[in-house]
Amino acid sequence: AQSVAQPEDQVNVAEGNPLTVKCTYSVSGNPYLFWYVQYPNRGLQFLLKYITGDNLVKGSYGFEAEFNKSQTSFHLKKPSALVSDSALYFCAVRALGGSQGNLIFGKGTKLSVKP
């Protein structure tokens, strides 16, 4: 069965420091991986995706993610965190079967950036 794990419920970083939000996956076949961000009382917003090609994917708001097939990981990174990056982050993988629109989400990681 396909699954996504986000091992950290919360990540705390100081403004200006690099940040990493971890994600590991379990899929059959090629993974289609996504990161979304959720600000308070809002829906999820798409950040970036990995479909194929370069293992380093760049997305919105200065975020990037590194796909590592051997470690089955897709960690979200940013070189210099901002207070405004504080939000809930979700990793997701496209589900097998059904519609290609169906995603399986991790439980989410709360990112807190302190000034």
Closest distance between other proteins and the C-beta of residue 9, in Å?
A: 8
Residues near other proteins (CB under 8 A) are 9, 32, 34, 36, 41-46, 49, 51, 90, 94-95, 98-103, 105-108
Smaller CB separation from other proteins, 15 or 24: 24
Nearest CB to other proteins, comparing residues 43 and 115: 43
Q: How far is CA 40 from CA 19, 27, 35, 45, 85, in A?
A: 20, 30, 17, 12, 12
Task: For tokens 């979700």, name the residue.
Answer: 90
Pair 56, 74: CB distance under 8 Å: no
Extract the tokens encoding 83.
């207070």
Least distance (Å) from other proteins to the CB of residue 44? Answer: 5
